[in-house]
Chains A and B, each alone.
Chain A
C-alpha cells in the first residue's frame, strides 16, 4: 500500500501539513493525491474507531452466515447488494467455503437483531439458510487493540 494511504489508514485526522512534512512533499501534492484517492473510490470515507463495549447501551452485533441460491442473471451480486442496503447491515462480504455471505448486523437489542433475521433476511428470495453468531466482546477492530496496554518500564531518559 502506498505510504500516504498507510498513514491515513492509521490516522485519518493527520493534517495535510504534517503528512507533507512526513513524506517530504508539498501540502498541495498531498491534497491532490488525497483528492484522487477520493475521486477514484479508493478512499470511501473517514470514520472514528469506536470501542462500543464502552458505550452505555452498547449495540448488539451479530455475525451472520448466509447461504444463497445462485441466480441465473447477475450471480450473487444482485441479492448481495440488496442485502447490503438494509441499515441494520454494517458490513457484508462474499465468502468462499461453507456459506456465501458474511454479514455484520447490529441492533439495539438481541430481539431486534433476531427479528431482522427472521422477518427480513430469511424471507428474501434466494436466501436458503442463515446462522447467527452474537458477538460478546471486541478485542481488536480495524487494526486497533481495544484494551490499553499497561505502561511499560521504558525509562524516560536513557543513553
Chain B
C-alpha cells in the first residue's frame, strides 16, 4: 500500500511555477486523446511526412551504429556536419556562415527555437509572432518570462504577415520577431516583396528575427525566399532549419541554428548545460542527408504537391472556402459558416465520418473557423476522406 509520507507537501500543484502551471495544455494533445480511442479513422491530423527516411540515410546510421559510433560530440555538433550545413545554407540563401562558430546543431528545430528565445529574452521583453502558428512559440516565450505578442494573419491575405499588421503591435519593449514561412498550420508562403517589407520593419525597429524555415524546401509555386537573404538581415537573424520535414527525418530529432558568433555562442551555452550535444547517430545520418538533398527531396516534393492539388480541388468542388497553400503539407479550409465551432466540427467529423482533422483553435484563438488538414497522407485515404467530408457538410 502506498502511504503519503507525513512531511509530503499538501498540494504539489501549488508548487509548480506559476508561469508553467498557467499555460493551458495544448489543444492538439486534447484532440489526440479523443482520436486515440478510435482505431478506424482516416487521419488528416498528423504533422509529419508519411515517408520513411530515404534508405541511404538510414543505412548510414546503421553503419555508424555497427562501427560503434556511440560517443558524445562537440557541444556545437560534429564539425563535418556543420561544414556541410554551411554549404547547404549558402546554396539555399546566398548567405555564408562560418561552420566553426556560426552553426549550432540541435535536437530538432524545437530545441533550436527554445535556445534562441531563452538566449535573447529578458523578463518582460515582448516577442511578436504570427498566429495561427506552430504550437510551441507562445509557450516558449512564456517559459523565458517574455511576453508573447500575437499578430493575427487572415485568410483574406492568404495568411501572409504584413508590415501594416506588425506596425500595430510593435512597442518600445519589442525585442524579437518570430517567423515561420511556409507556415504550419496554414501552408502560407511569403512573396519576396513581403519579406523585404518585413525586413525593413525589423531594421527600422532594431529587432532580431528568429526564422523557422523548416518547411522551406516544401514550397510549390515559387522558390522560397528567406529573410536572411535580404541585405542587412544576416546581422540580426537567427536562421533555424532541420531535417524533420523535407528529409522525412522527424524521429532523428535533428535541427540547427545559424547566427552571428555572439548569438550562436549564447545559444550554445544553454545547449551545453541542458543537452550537451545532439545524438551522434542522428548527426551522422544528417551528413549523409546532405550528400544529395535535391534528389532525396524532389520525389517527396512532387508527391506532396500532387496530393495538395487533389485535396484542394476536392474542397473547391464541395464549395468549402479554402486558400491554396503554397508550402508545407497542410491545408486550412474555412468551415466557420456551418454553424459549428472548429472543435465541434472536428469532433462530429470524427464521430460521424471517422475522419480526423485538427481544429484551427489548436494553433491560436484566431484559428477559430478553420481546420488543419494534413495531406501527407496516402492518396486513396485523402480521396476517401474528402468524400466523407462532403457527405458530412451536406448534412449540416
Contact = CB atoms under 8 A, between A and B. Distances in A.
Contacts of B135: 159
Nearest to B30: A157
B316 to A, nearest CB: 10
Interface residues on B, range: 20 to 34
Given A156-B41, A157-B356, A21 B310 contact: yes
A23 B307 CA distance: 9
A150 interface: no
B136 A22 contact: no
Contact of A22 (B45, B46, B306): B306
A17 to B, nearest CB: 9
Interface residues of A, number: 13
A158 B245 CA distance: 13
B159 to A, nearest CB: 17
Contacts of A45: none
A156 B45 contact: yes
Interface in A139-159: 154-159
B261 interface: no
A23 B43 contact: no
A18 B379 contact: yes
Contacts of A159: 26, 28, 47, 134-136, 184, 362
B309 A24 contact: yes
Contacts of B288: none
B329 to A, nearest CB: 12
B43 A156 contact: yes
- List the 7 closest A-B pairs by CB distance, nearest first: A22-B306, A157-B45, A158-B47, A157-B32, A156-B43, A159-B135, A21-B313
Given A22-B310, A154-B50, 7 more contacts: A18-B383, A156-B35, A156-B45, A156-B356, A157-B28, A157-B35, A159-B136
